[in-house]
Structure 1
Amino acid sequence: MAISRRDFLKNTAAAVALSSLTGISTEAKVQLNKDKKELLSGTKMFKAPCRFCGTGCGVQVHTKDGKIIMTEGDPKAPVNLGLNCIKGYNLSNVLYGKERILYPEIRKNGKLERVSWDEAINYIADRYKKVLKEKGPNAVAMAGSGQWTIPEGYVASKFMKAGLKSNNIDPNARYCMASAVAAFIRTFQADEPMGSYEDFEHADVFVTWGANMAEMHPILFSRLVAQKETNGSVLFDLTTRESRTSDEAETVLLMKPQTDLAILNAIANYIVANDLYDKKFVEKNTRIKMAQIEPGYGIDPISAPHLANMENAQRGRKKAGAGTPMSFAEYKKFLSTYSFEYAEKLSGVPAGKIKKLAKAYADPSLKVMSLWTMGFNQHTRGVWCNHLIYNIHLLMGKISEPGNGPFSLTGQPSACGTAREVGTFAHKLPIGVVMNKKHREIAAKIWLGDAKKENEIPSKPGFHMTKMMREFERGRLDIMWVQCCNPFTASPNIARFRDRSLNKDSMLIVSDSYRTASTDLADVVLPAAMWVEKEGFYGNAERRTQHWFQAVLPPGEAKDDMWHLLAVAEKLGLGHMFPDKDDPQKVKKVFEEYRLFKTGSSKDLAPYEEYVKARGLCWPVVQDKKTGEWKETKWRYNAKYDPYASKALGGKKEGIIFYKATGNKATMWCCPYEPSSEIPDNDYPFWLCTGRVLEHWHTGTMTNRIPALHRAVPYAKMEMHPDDAKKLGIRRGEKAKVSSRRGTAFYEVDTHGRGKPQKGLVFIPFFDENNPINMLTLDHYDPISKQPDYKKCAVKIEKA
């Protein structure tokens, strides 16, 4: 049951808020509609997904005389039904900000100077030839993005892995979704959520784990609120900082950082100890493994010498991702330690609140939807957190059906479609992983024309993003090409990475649309077309693949990122592997080649033309043999909705089967609570947590250049508990000095803002280009997913 646009707008709190902002007379509304009609006279309309977060809202793009004059929510889009958040409503301005990069540039005598495209491409290609000849493919790397279009990411991966024979390519999605990816694969042997956004219209209980949806995913949160209004559903919010999401919650569980692991195990313990789990489902569909304890924290002694001894002690153990089979009885015994009282001792959350949440999960009559984002994923035990939420849903059989399921939300518009599905990670292929010979054979057949050439695709994973940044900093990479991201602001502990004293002879190439810290450090800057200045596809968090056409031309001499790649590939003698860079059909050709990897894999995609017509389709998209219609799949592993599940169950139309998993059984992982690597002490007594605000997106490259959004929140503030501020003699609005073991910065203090941190914790968003909080953060990460933890490091606060 998909919600109707009428009911959605009627019941959503966001719609009410918007109505109050436009509380004007009927006469004025008539005049506005008349003005809009006049404004749109003689315009062309294009459909497109929004450029910002991973929700994938549909928008209508109106153009006239070669320029976008207006964007608005697309009422036909199933994701948002015409509603946009504040960033979406200001989307038309994203192309027209100050500091657009218009021409190629090469650094000469220390300064970036304008050059022709021919000079820039020849300069890059000559360096590649020299480095590849003298040092080999391991000396080059590419930092990509969850903002790449699907065809761009596909070309980049093929260029690196099959063309240059290097797996040193990784997306910035490593920083936001890698823990979710690793846990999905380790549990189900297949990535991405099994449900769809229609789950919001079926759930009785919502649980947000480290997810401020009201600001980070406001349109989805509007669907959640609409369900609360119409169905009486309830929201539990687990967080280290009360937020606007908390304001809508019936129950807020304010926990100490890292202790979500203990709370999750306490819920599972309640279900198992009280014999409330679905025995038939568990026996038929699951198996259990014990995770490798104390697997390390990805600590680099250069940036964290005080943690080196701990890291060395833990790294001496088995592989971080190793697991040991265990029986259900052993699992039950392990969980018995995690009583509600023990979880309260660790987390600070009252035992009664944890029990209330556990009862909601355990009640077979209630449909539960668990949602999370960076609070889980940017975590030194992020993979474990993901595992433990899957455990709860698997224990209760609350999975793969409308309103029941774990749902990880993504932060970038194509983190799923490009990074995860195309496989732009250092270990991935469009199907499978580089370590698997059969997967390399499939890639070799499509990419190189012969499966026997699989040995030409390296079998060893390349550098993940943090490793890539460390290698470049130390001068061990001769070429690093950055596209569609800003790692010299977005990476943790950026002070070390911005120092080019050890890599002054290396070449840093940056393809981008606006000036950033990354372009400031670059040796070559290539102007990039953005969003509807090019044709493309994005894939959102519900597995929905969406297409758009080019609506306007890019400014100056800017070209799309694929053009950049194809131009260099041509100069390197790899042109035969790709369409011509100026071929108007190149996006279609690349997409159709990419589809070959997916057909018959349970991740099937429809032909190009189907996406041109549709407002996106959720894969697997399988053609009905009788009608010829291409049908999307809303709930995977459920035979009622998923043709692959039906096939695995012998043609039955009901039942759940995890058909990609070994023996058709999902793995429940037994994972203990373990503390963060760096914790507050006498010298650095506060926790530092970073994140986003409603008005801005990521490092602010785009939103800081949209006047309305910049005016709304022009700079980052530090949210702080009023009691902490009072103790330090700091008043609201005054500046504070914030220091970690890696750096110092100054921020205005806000003690009564929209966010309310617990005592002992401060929150600072990372959108401020002029005052980046990542100067202070620690580059520690989950040892399985290699995803950094931006949510926890120790700082001290002083009055400035």
Structure 2
Amino acid sequence: MELSRRDFLKSSAAAAAFAAAGAAALSPLRPKDAAAAESGITWGKAPCRFCGTGCGVLVGVKNGRIVATKGDPQAPVNRGLNCIKGYFLSKVLYGTDRLTKPLIRKGDTMVEASWDEAMTLIASKFKEAIAKHGPDSVAMYGSGQWTVFEGYAASKLFKGGIGTNNIEPNARLCMASAVTGLMTTFASDEPMGCYDDLDLGDTYFLWGANMAECHPILFSRMIDNRLKNPKVRIIDFATRHTRTSQMADQYVRFAPQTDLALLNAIAHVIIRDKLYDEQFIKEHVVFKRGKENIGYGLEDNFKFADEPKLIGFDEYAAFLKPYTPEYVATISGVPATTIVELAHLYADKKRKVTSLWTMGFNQHTRGTWVNNLVYNVHLLTGKICKPGENPMSLTGQPSACGTTREVGTFTHRLPADMVVTNPEHREKTAKIWGVDPKKIPAKPTYNATEMFRALDRGDIKVVWVQVTNPFQSLPNLSRYRTGARKGDGRFVIVSDIYPTRSTELADVILPSASWVEKEGVFGNAERRTQQWFKLVDAPGEARSDLWQTMELARRLGHGNLFPYKQVEPEMWEEYRKFNEGQGKDLAPYATYATTRGLRWPVVNGKETLWRYAEGHDPYVKQGEGIKFYKNKPDHYKAVIWARPYEPAPEVPDRQYPFWLCTGRVLEHWHTGTMTGRVPELKRAYPAAVCEMHPDDAKLLGVQNLQNVKISSRRGSIVLPVELNGRSKAEKGNIFVAFFDEGKLINELCIDAYCPISGEPDFKKCAVKIEKA
């Protein structure tokens, strides 16, 4: 399909705009009108507030209010373009129900309070719980929408002050498998490639990634590449036909969960047909095999520890023997000839191959494994750490990488890939923080799902939620919504900018400043660190989450952890100490104020586009070629893992015969807290629908837009059916977006998770469908 990058984005934006406003509402804007409209506007730079792409935007301020936003022409990520959500950024902070004052629960009513009253109450609840039940009875649940400063302060307070590892981000729900995939393969988080690969490659394998809707700017760069280079091919591996599938050169439908088998089959063909790069494997790879039949995290306090063992190339080849294209065709639905064809395409020495994936891989009960398996294919063929040839997991939040992963706001992590279980890492952290190393606990506590199970059981008494909406976004949602209001000493604090399905369960609601109402730093999916200054005041009494965290620290007697006079610059320079000399170096704070971001490691003022590669990465010396220098235990080599196909914990049967998959749509972001306040986006896609295949609807006697009742073993919901919409479900599958706060689809999802990463699977559970 011939479509340019700019045409693609224009068509996406126009479609949403026409749906929202209608053609009659559109009128031409003459040049003199545009000049008049911009009169008196002051422009500042910032990264977009939405996904992990990290688009640069220019923010127009007039009379202390954001009046316009536009794509930043100087931003390398998006080069002046925005997606439809980005074009409406000026409206996301100005919903009529913006939270502006602290609120405290009095019975069933939320009553306005002063900041002093609210923070005094919160501090007293923390002190009471810690005194009675110990530091592990309090918790912080944060977000990939935290700025680097906010995440760093929260981690420092909880791990270095309170003395608990009870801190988790919502990135556990979306990016944890990407982290463990990278750590187990390369011993370092974050990708080796960057977005330039979208411009420089010619073969793109998309795995469970509807990039046209969820990462439209990046998808547009691939489209632009294909327009310029007729050799470019885009292959879309997916379980539903989407806008991405429409524009791909090849759509490969596969049965849910069988991506594991497909990747092993591709590796099988590469070895069988001797398509692998023998020299690269000899110099840069070791082989390992871990535990199998590892469970699904369905039991409270589930524990798992892998036991990796070195194997040889021959043992790995023997492991792959059962994964013949013919066998895998029977379980995946992908023809054997297609598997062979795509294996040869992956290995073609004349082609530059990039693999891209999002939640289809990461939200998976074998998420770590499937990440390992796609790395296997790149390592077998030597197509890695080169311009245009890399695997990359794309992220969904603006600083899931920069804050949750790099700062280390997971229960088990510290900054710069360090972990709490390593005494040397705790020692280094304590030295930088100025605390006793014994203060930082040596054991992780709960992943995100287990954290809310602990709240439900009563093991956690106080939880503070910042910049996220867990009581809409968690799987098996009914359990955790009920658990939050069980009483018996449980106390829930929620900091947000609007009322949500989480604030309605809170004991205290704190009004937060957002985006350019405060100073901040985000880190995007290509390791690009981007800074912005405060451009407008937050409304009413709203304050930043950073201030809120530091104020609690002061009231708990840990104010000494934050001795800064100029908070953001001084905190940044402290945080940089963790990264120096670790292959994750960051520039001085002032540098980011004058750039559109830099990709780390930044050494001598120069950013790094491709990691581990001589001539690109300053940590790889001349003559070393490619060196996976973070993996010292394996002699600076990457790991190819023997990981088997194992079925999902819950599969369709006679009682529940359909697969349910959840996800996002173009117009809305996550739980719709911000996009739902933009009238144009709300009108364009007002409510969730149930995407269903027409043949399934016919068997059920259901017409388009007719209501159906969808039920799983955990809950039920009523939605209208959509047949032949922008995306098309395959037979036996349905899809529902999770942005609609009036229809909590996650009540149906199973809270099974990858035992290694702790990331839940929102893409696969069994449901039944009846006429409503």
TM-score by length of 1: 0.93
Letter in 2 for 1:70: A
Residue deviations 1:444-486 (CA, integer Å, cap 9, x gap): 001125xxx2121100012110000100012111110000000
- Which residue of 2 is the match for residue 747 of structure 1? 719
Residue deviations 1:492-541 (CA, integer Å, cap 9, x gap): 01111111453442110111111011110001111000000000000000
Residue deviations 1:392-429 (CA, integer Å, cap 9, x gap): 00001100111001010000000000000000000000
Inter-partner Cα distance in structure 1 for 2:196 and 2:501 = 40
The answer to whether 1:329 aligns with 2:314 is: yes
Superposed, which structure 2 residues align to 1:322-721 within 5 Å? 322-431=307-416, 432-448=418-434, 453-499=436-482, 500=484, 502-579=486-563, 585-623=566-604, 630-646=605-621, 651-652=622-623, 655-661=625-631, 662=633, 663-721=635-693
Letter in 1 for 2:272: A
Inter-partner Cα distance in structure 1 for 2:281 and 2:145 = 38
Q: 3-state SS of the aligned residue for 2:289?
A: strand
Q: Which shifted more, 351-360 or 417-426? A: 351-360
How big is the alpha-carbon RMSD for the aligned residues of Structure 1 and Structure 2? 1.8
Deviation, 1:322, is 2.1
- Which residue of 2 is the match for residue 68 of structure 1? 66
Inter-partner Cα distance in structure 2 for 1:134 and 1:17 = 55
Please say if residues 160 and 167 of structure 1, whose CA atoms lie closer than 8 Å, have aligned partners that are also in contact. yes
- Which residue of 2 is the match for residue 109 of structure 1? 107
Letter in 2 for 1:671: R
Inter-partner Cα distance in structure 2 for 1:130 and 1:669 = 47
Q: 3-state SS of the aligned residue for 2:494?
A: strand
Residue deviations 1:680-722 (CA, integer Å, cap 9, x gap): 1110000000000000000111111111100101100000000
Please say if residues 11 and 230 of structure 1, whose CA atoms lie closer than 8 Å, have aligned partners that are also in contact. no
Deviation, 1:590, is 1.2
Distance 1:20 1:169, change over 3 A: closer
Please say if residues 4 and 227 of structure 2, whose CA atoms lie closer than 8 Å, have aligned partners that are also in contact. no
Q: 3-state SS of the aligned residue for 1:711?
A: helix
Deviation, 1:14, is 2.4
Could you list the runs of 4 or more consecutive aligned residues of structure 1 that deviate by over 6 angstroms after TM superposition? 8-11, 19-23
Inter-partner Cα distance in structure 2 for 1:357 and 1:114 = 61
Letter in 2 for 1:51: R
Letter in 2 for 1:659: Y
Inter-partner Cα distance in structure 2 for 1:607 and 1:72 = 27
Letter in 2 for 1:592: E
Please say if residues 16 and 681 of structure 2, whose CA atoms lie closer than 8 Å, have aligned partners that are also in contact. no
Inter-partner Cα distance in structure 2 for 1:798 and 1:689 = 17
- Which residue of 2 is the match for residue 783 of structure 1? 755
Inter-partner Cα distance in structure 2 for 1:679 and 1:320 = 26
- Which residue of 1 is the match for residue 709 of structure 2? 737
Deviation, 1:592, is 1.2
Deviation, 1:784, is 0.5
Inter-partner Cα distance in structure 1 for 2:86 and 2:308 = 44
Inter-partner Cα distance in structure 1 for 2:28 and 2:499 = 42
Deviation, 1:321, is 2.4
Inter-partner Cα distance in structure 2 for 1:20 and 1:421 = 37
- Which residue of 2 is the match for residue 308 of structure 1? none
Letter in 2 for 1:595: R
Deviation, 1:12, is 5.4
TM-score by length of 2: 0.96
Please say if residues 58 and 82 of structure 1, whose CA atoms lie closer than 8 Å, have aligned partners that are also in contact. yes
- Which residue of 2 is the match for residue 14 of structure 1? 9
The answer to whether 1:224 aligns with 2:209 is: no
Q: 3-state SS of the aligned residue for 2:355?
A: strand
Letter in 2 for 1:398: K
Inter-partner Cα distance in structure 1 for 2:612 and 2:139 = 37
- Which residue of 1 is the match for residue 22 of structure 2? none
Deviation, 1:131, is 1.7
- Which residue of 2 is the match for residue 263 of structure 1? 262
Distance 1:301 1:444, change over 3 A: closer
Letter in 2 for 1:469: F
Q: 3-state SS of the aligned residue for 1:77?
A: coil
Inter-partner Cα distance in structure 2 for 1:167 and 1:206 = 39
Identity %: 53
Q: 3-state SS of the aligned residue for 1:643?
A: coil
Deviation, 1:732, is 0.4
Inter-partner Cα distance in structure 1 for 2:557 and 2:14 = 58
- Which residue of 2 is the match for residue 289 of structure 1? 288
Please say if residues 391 and 668 of structure 1, whose CA atoms lie closer than 8 Å, have aligned partners that are also in contact. yes
- Which residue of 2 is the match for residue 133 of structure 1? 131
The answer to whether 1:94 aligns with 2:92 is: yes
Inter-partner Cα distance in structure 2 for 1:416 and 1:98 = 31
Q: Which shifted more, 493-502 or 678-687? A: 493-502
Inter-partner Cα distance in structure 2 for 1:795 and 1:550 = 47
- Which residue of 1 is the match for residue 162 of structure 2? 164
- Which residue of 2 is the match for residue 3 of structure 1? none
Q: 3-state SS of the aligned residue for 1:590?
A: helix
- Which residue of 2 is the match for residue 280 of structure 1? 279
Letter in 2 for 1:149: T
Deviation, 1:50, is 0.3
Inter-partner Cα distance in structure 1 for 2:569 and 2:491 = 32
Inter-partner Cα distance in structure 2 for 1:357 and 1:220 = 23
Letter in 1 for 2:619: Y
Deviation, 1:294, is 0.5
Residue deviations 1:571-595 (CA, integer Å, cap 9, x gap): 1111111046xx5x21111111111
Please say if residues 296 and 320 of structure 1, whose CA atoms lie closer than 8 Å, have aligned partners that are also in contact. no
Deviation, 1:19, is 8.1
Inter-partner Cα distance in structure 2 for 1:111 and 1:406 = 50
Please say if residues 300 and 450 of structure 2, whose CA atoms lie closer than 8 Å, have aligned partners that are also in contact. no
Distance 1:391 1:106, change over 3 A: same
Q: Which shifted more, 398-407 or 122-131? A: 122-131
- Which residue of 1 is the match for residue 23 of structure 2? none
**Equivalent residue pairs, number:** 759
Deviation, 1:17, is 6.0
Deviation, 1:73, is 0.3
- Which residue of 2 is the match for residue 52 of structure 1? 50
Q: 3-state SS of the aligned residue for 2:196?
A: helix
Deviation, 1:753, is 0.6
Letter in 2 for 1:443: T
Q: 3-state SS of the aligned residue for 1:667?
A: strand
Deviation, 1:301, is 7.5
- Which residue of 2 is the match for residue 4 of structure 1? none
Q: 3-state SS of the aligned residue for 2:209?
A: coil
Superposed, which structure 2 residues align to 1:116-127 within 5 Å? 116-127=114-125
Letter in 1 for 2:588: P
